[in-house]
Amino acid sequence: MPAAAPHVTTGSGPATEVTGHETRWVLTGDSTGARTARISAVERTGPEAPATPASRDDDRLVVVTQGELTAEIAARSASVPAQAVIVIPAGVPHRIWNSSSATVRYLDADIPGPEAYAKLAPAQ
């Protein structure tokens, strides 16, 4: 990896994005470059219904800090409690949601992955 100057930021205040049951505070900006992770703090209220599975061009890292998420990754479901980490390679269909009435908080990072990962398809 080429050398890069570290980018550190702090934030407080109003949410960056609010959609349905999800409130998101973006902790890094797009100006940090194409090889830098985009990190958000997320709060989800529930219960909510799962959305349609989708995949991303970047790897995704989710660190649950409070509550319990429900995740479906490559058509496999699991409960993900606080202190758990989910790693989802680029190109893998997935969805996460809050199936309980308790609030869930987590960090969500989109991490630029090798181009080869974007070509992955789920096992049939």
Q: Which is nearest to 62 in space by CA: 35, 33, 32, 92?
A: 92
How far from chain centre, in Å, is Cα 31? 19
* Res. 11: pLDDT tops 70: no
For residue 120, being part of any structural domain is answered with: no
93 in a structural domain:
yes
What is the number of domains present in the chain? 1
Give a yes or no: residue 7 inside a domain: no
Q: Tell me, yes or no, whether 11 lies in a domain.
A: no
Whether 70 is covered by a domain: the verdict is: yes
Residue 12 is assigned to a structural domain of this protein: no
| CATH number, domain containing residue 95 | 2.60.120.10
- Answer whether 100's CB lies under 8 Å from 46's CB: yes
What pLDDT sits at residue 95?
A: 97
- Which domain does 47 fall in, by range? 17-114
Question: Can you read off the two tokens belonging to residue 32?
Answer: 């940090």
Under the banding of pLDDT at 50, 70 and 90, the label for residue 16 is confident
Q: Which residue has the higher pLDDT, 15 or 98?
A: 98
Residue 4 inside a domain? The answer is: no
Nearest alpha carbon to residue 62 among 89, 99, 101, 102: 89
pTM of this structure = 0.78
Say if 2 falls within a structural domain.
Answer: no
